[in-house]
Amino acid sequence: MGSVNIKYQARLKRKKRIRKKLSGTQERPRLCVFKSAKHIYAQIIDDTKGHTLVAASSTEKSVTGQSDAKKKISIANLVGKTIGIRAVEKGYKKVVFDRSGFLYHGRIKAVSEGAREAGLDF
């Protein structure tokens, strides 16, 4: 159990280092991604006001109800497309991508690719 704690602490350290350098504004909000063992969550946040503008996750029925939602990476891609579509509908085209200390690999990469396919620019 100690090694899991070390990995968690290392991720939090990376997250702090990343967040020092980037923040979301009204013109270019922050796309924050979090993954757990089973689900993946994405939010678009305006850090100047501290508000979540758009959110999507793998727990929503609109994402899990689709036919190709069987593997974690395909679900993550659907979450990215969902948040991208919702953001474009609200008028947000450009965002800053925040991977929250996770490696840009696998599900995190799938979310960003899905968001790019839906029309977000980052």
pLDDT computed for residue 107 by the predictor: 96
What does DSSP assign to residue 94?
Answer: B
Q: Indicate whether this model's pTM tops 0.95.
A: no
* Domain residue ranges of the chain, discontinuous segments joined by +: 2-118
Q: Exposed e or buried b for every residue in 39-53, given b needs 16+ CB within 10 A?
A: bbbbbbbbbeeeeeb
pLDDT computed for residue 88 by the predictor: 96
Whole-number average pLDDT of the chain:
92
CATH class, domain 2-118, is: alpha beta
What are the pLDDT digits (tens) for 37-75? 999 999 999 999 999 999 999 999 988 887 666 799 999
**CA 77, CA 27: separation in Å to the nearest integer?**
25
